[in-house]
Every structure is written in C-alpha cells, then in structure tokens.
C-alpha cells in the first residue's frame, strides 16, 4: 500500500473521531496497519484512566488490541501519523515488539514513509540503540521517537521544579539571614 493511501485512511479515521466529538491534539497519533491478506486496521492514541490515574495508550497498542480479536493478525505494512498534521511518526520500540510478538510473520512488516519503506526490524534495532544511549543519562528510563516530546517535557519540568525548590531555599536563606542580621545588628563587624 502506498504512503498516500495510508495517510488518507488516517485522515478518515481522524474525521470519524472528530464527528463523534472525540478531540484529537498534537500529542495524539493514528496508526494504520495493512495485514498480509490486505485488511486495513486503524488505531488511535487515547487517554485511559487506571485507578483514577491518566495513562496514555499509544495508537499502535490500540491496533494491537484490534489485531488480538482478529485471526488475520500478520502485519505486512504499518504507518503512524500525527493526528493533527498527519506527519509520519516512528513507532516506539515497545509497540513494535508487541505487534511482532502477536504473529511471527509480522517481523517482515515494513514501515511505510513518504519516501521509502523500512523493514520494521531495522526500526526496532535503531530504537533499541537510541534507548540504550538515552539510558546512560540520569533520569532517562525509556526514550523513543514517538515519546520524545513527552520525555523532553518531563525533563524540563524536573529542571523547573528543581529551580523552584532552589528559589524557595534561597528565599528561606535570605529570610534567615535577615533575621540573623536583626539579632546581630548591634554586634561589631568582627563578631559577625
């Protein structure tokens, strides 16, 4: 299947979700899969709640869940799109592994991009190498291309929280210094 055809299917899926009043944003993705028999299966990323905690479910996992209920689950082609601008996105390592684990023939699947098709096992190996590099850095537990925005956002938030805590500590230190200054006001310079 051509990239343009898969993109058209992603656009139709997006329109269907929008018509059902299901909002899609820049963090959402749409996965389009073609099985070895030619069946088209789509999935959309979504937010699910587990014990009142929001959990992001990737579009590829939505496709995986749809494939489980179908006996025709050997994937031959896969594309992942941003749900708003329909730019291609590289599927994450965990999702690729999960889809391949469902049917060994899926290891021959191709990632369809605008200018080429890449064997999904090469993407898997590439993402694994990226994960191992990223894991060498403090706080990087899992980084992959489709989650890079979330990872960077979390890291930035960590830095901002650290800066806020430092600011609070500096304020407390200044307050203590002022209090100390009040109590030490009458002492000579050598006593300070």
Tens-place pLDDT, residues 134-151: 565 544 444 444 455 555
188 lies in some domain:
no
For residue range 43-102, what is the model confidence (pLDDT) as tens digits? 999 888 888 888 888 999 899 988 887 777 889 999 999 999 999 998 887 888 888 888
Flag whether pLDDT at 40 surpasses 50.
yes
71 lies in some domain:
yes
Flag whether pLDDT at 32 surpasses 60.
yes
Sequence-ordered alpha helix ranges (H) in the chain: 3-19, 59-68, 93-102, 120-134, 148-183
Instruction: Say what the pLDDT of residue 128 is.
Output: 66
Instruction: Say what the pLDDT of residue 55 is.
Output: 82
Give the domain CATH number at 73: 3.40.140.10
Judge residue 19's burial from the number of C-beta atoms within 10 Å of its C-beta, 0-12 exposed, 13-18 middle, 19 or more buried: exposed
Q: Select the highest-mean-pLDDT range: 23-27, 30-34, 137-141.
A: 30-34
31 lies in some domain:
yes
Residue of 65, 134, 139, 54 whose CA lies nearest to 93 = 134
For residue range 160-183, what is the model confidence (pLDDT) as tens digits? 554 445 555 555 555 555 444 444
89 lies in some domain:
yes
Question: How many domains, the chain?
Answer: 1
38 lies in some domain:
yes
Instruction: Say what the pLDDT of residue 39 is.
Output: 92
Instruction: Say what the pLDDT of residue 171 is.
Output: 56
Q: Which residues contact 159 (CB under 8 A, 6 or more apart)?
A: none
What does pTM read for this prediction? 0.63
Instruction: Say what the pLDDT of residue 138 is.
Output: 41
27 lies in some domain:
yes
90 lies in some domain:
yes
Mean pLDDT of 22-50: 89
Question: Token pair of 28, please?
Answer: 């959402």
Please report where in the chains the tokens 């690729």 appear, as a residue.
Answer: 96
Instruction: Say what the pLDDT of residue 181 is.
Output: 44
173 lies in some domain:
no
């Amino acid at each position: 299947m051509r990239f343009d055809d898969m993109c058209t299917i992603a656009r139709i899926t997006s329109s269907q979700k929008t018509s059902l009043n299901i909002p899609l944003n820049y963090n959402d993705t749409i996965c389009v899969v073609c099985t070895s028999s030619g069946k088209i299966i789509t999935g959309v990323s979504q937010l699910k709640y587990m014990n009142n905690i929001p959990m992001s479910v990737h579009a590829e996992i939505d496709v995986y869940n749809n494939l489980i209920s179908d006996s025709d689950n050997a994937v031959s082609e896969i594309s992942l799109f941003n749900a708003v601008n329909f730019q291609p996105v590289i599927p994450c390592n965990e999702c690729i592994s999960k889809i391949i684990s469902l049917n060994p023939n899926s290891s021959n699947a191709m990632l369809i991009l605008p200018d080429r098709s890449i064997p999904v096992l090469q993407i898997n190996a590439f993402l694994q190498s990226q994960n191992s590099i990223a894991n060498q850095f403090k706080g990087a537990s899992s980084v992959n291309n489709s989650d890079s925005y979330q990872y960077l956002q979390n890291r930035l938030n960590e830095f901002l929280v650290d800066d806020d805590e430092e600011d609070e500590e500096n304020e407390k230190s200044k307050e203590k210094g002022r209090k100390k200054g009040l109590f030490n006001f009458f002492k000579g310079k050598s006593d300070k």
